[in-house]
Chains A and B, each alone.
Chain A
Amino acid sequence: MSKIKLKTAKRVTTVSRVMVRNAVAAIYDIDTTTPATKKHILKSAKKRSVPKKSLHLN
């Protein structure tokens, strides 16, 4: 696999990079097909008061 060097730009955003990084980690770090993963995501969503339906988990 070719290795690119990811480049980024400084941007003014409405959410912090830490929040986005955590959200991506919660989804990408884990295989979402296992019940344990589902549980982890749901727990994380509950903490942030995110409706369960909006997560589109199978």
Chain B
Amino acid sequence: MIRVQHEDFDIGAEIAALKAGRTDIGAIVSFTGTVRDAADTITEMTLEHYPGMTEKELERIEKEAHARWPLQASLIVHRTGTLRPGDNIVLVVSASAHRDAAFDAARFLMDYLKTSASFWKRETGPQGSKWVEAKASDEAARRHWSPLKDAAE
């Protein structure tokens, strides 16, 4: 499941909902991305997205993760709008029978989300406001995953 929302998320509640009533899950991995302000340079972060397209991209990324690993369930929640240092930005959860698939899928979902989902960050601080630039290291992280040869579509 994927969601794009302004509201914060409760990691424990999300995981509880994901595994409610199920006994086929043996491993759950979650990743949470938060607004960082290591050097007192950021007072606010605003996230913009492309309504309609962003959701389709997240669904495509999730579908590809399910094609690569035997996942019982997965979840991507991404926040938009104005956030502050320490706030949650993104949650990725992957659930599988065993840990390897859950660990790998969570990393894959984040690496693809970073480089292929339409979100744009703008940071505001005492020095003013600027759009965050895409990092080459994120693109390299995505390339770490080889293309799926017999992917659907």
A and B co-occur in one complex: no
